[in-house]
Structures are given as structure tokens and as C-alpha cells.
């Protein structure tokens, strides 16, 4: 936490305890959303993560993913990930999917597919981005093995239809009520 964070919180009347409670509440909302998607869609693995000020995924919670691949992602493959948060803008939408079986001539994406996704047998990915005001704050990755196949348009539409409920959950958190934080749809 920076001095500026403490000053902003102090000037807005938000105590450190309220901020910690809000962070824990936010993590729970994301974990519950992830669990919901895992129970309603065929998923082989998943994770949720926070986005830092430099637009990198931090504090990842992995489900059915080997930590070896997380280390490889952090060390190398985040540079090639076409769905990496720093490559995404609010006007691009909140949910997208990626099919690692499609042909591409882009060397970076090809490297990501051939040396990261395919060795894990997770060529299919859906990504969900969460925004607060004008900043991306979190994301959820849903991954599928080859036998489960790509995410269909109806599944992406289903994910999008659930997001207002996740946003509502965020808005009911103590800090969100104090600051009237809004999440983009």
C-alpha cells in the first residue's frame, strides 16, 4: 500500500479495517463467481486474479492448474498472451474467448499456443474482465481441454448475462458503498 492509498482512504473516511474487509469480500465474490461458472459450464481448469497498476495479473488463485505452468507464465508467456489484461480495453468488452487450435501466423501467439496452452492440453480459453471506474481490477480465466472443445457463442452470452449479478455483489461490499464504486457492464 502506498502513502497515497492511505491518504485517499483517510480523506474518504475509509478505515484500514474497512479496506481489508472489502478486499476479502471482493476475493470471496470472485471465488464464488468462479465456482458458479465451474458448476454451470464444462471447465477443466480455471483461475482468478487481481490486476495491479501495471496491468499485470497478481495474486492468482489456481484451480486444477499446476503451479509449474504459473511460473512459466510469469517468467515468459505473459508476454505472448493475446488475452493479457494490458492488451485489453474496456470498449473491447468484458468477456472474450480464444481458440488455440486456430491457425495463426503471429509468431508471439503461435509461441503462446505451442509452448504454453497445448502442452497443458488447454487450447480453449474464456476470459472475464472486471472493471472499477476506468481501471481493470480483476479477471477470471476458464480453460478447457481438447475433449471439451471451444467455448460457444451461447456460453459466452451466458457468462455475460451473469455478470450483472457479480457486479451487484461487488457493489454491496462496504467500501463500494462508501465510494459508490461502479463496475462496467
Instruction: Indicate the pTM of the whole model.
Output: 0.79
The pLDDT assigned to 173 comes to 67
* Residues contacting residue 167 through CB under 8 Å, at least 6 positions apart: 183, 185
Nearest to 183 by CA among 142, 128, 143, 127: 128
Please indicate whether residue 18 or residue 123 has the higher confidence score (pLDDT). 123
Is the pLDDT confidence value at 1 over 60?
Answer: no
| Mean pLDDT of the 144-167 span | 94
User: DSSP 3-state assignment of 131?
Assistant: strand
Residues 88, 136: Cα–Cα separation, whole Å: 9
Instruction: Answer whether 138's CB lies under 8 Å from 26's CB.
Output: yes
Beta strands in 52-170 (DSSP E): 57-63, 95-99, 124-132, 135-144
For residue 8, what pLDDT band results from cuts at 50, 70 and 90? very low
Nearest to 140 by CA among 53, 70, 42, 62: 62
Look at the block and give the residue holding cell 505452468: 69
The pLDDT assigned to 142 comes to 96
Write out pLDDT tens, residues 50-79: 899 888 888 888 888 888 988 898 899 999
CATH architecture of the domain with residue range 3-179: 2-Layer Sandwich (3.30)
Mean pLDDT of the chain: 81
Please indicate whether residue 93 or residue 41 has the higher confidence score (pLDDT). 41
In the chain, where the domains are located = 3-179
Beta strand 45-51 pairing with 95-99: unpaired
Amino acid at each position: 500500500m502506498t502513502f497515497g492509498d492511505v491518504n485517499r482512504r483517510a480523506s474518504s473516511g475509509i478505515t484500514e479495517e474497512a479496506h481489508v474487509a472489502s478486499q476479502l469480500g471482493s476475493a470471496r465474490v470472485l471465488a464464488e463467481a468462479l465456482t458458479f461458472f465451474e458448476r454451470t459450464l464444462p471447465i477443466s481448469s480455471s483461475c482468478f486474479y487481481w490486476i495491479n497498476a501495471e496491468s499485470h495479473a497478481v495474486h492468482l488463485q489456481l484451480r486444477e492448474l499446476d503451479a509449474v505452468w504459473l511460473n512459466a507464465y510469469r517468467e515468459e508467456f505473459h508476454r505472448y498472451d493475446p488475452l493479457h489484461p494490458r492488451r485489453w480495453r474496456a470498449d473491447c468488452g468484458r468477456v472474450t474467448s480464444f481458440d488455440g487450435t486456430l491457425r495463426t501466423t503471429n509468431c508471439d501467439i503461435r509461441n503462446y499456443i505451442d509452448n504454453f496452452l497445448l502442452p497443458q492440453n488447454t487450447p480453449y480459453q474464456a476470459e472475464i474482465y472486471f472493471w472499477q471506474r476506468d481501471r481493470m481490477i480483476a479477471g477470471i480465466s476458464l480453460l478447457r481441454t481438447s475433449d471439451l472443445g471451444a467455448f460457444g457463442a451461447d456460453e459466452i452470452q451466458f457468462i455475460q448475462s451473469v455478470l450483472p449479478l457479480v457486479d451487484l455483489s461487488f457493489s454491496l461490499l462496504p467500501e463500494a458503498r462508501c465510494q459508490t464504486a461502479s463496475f462496467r457492464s
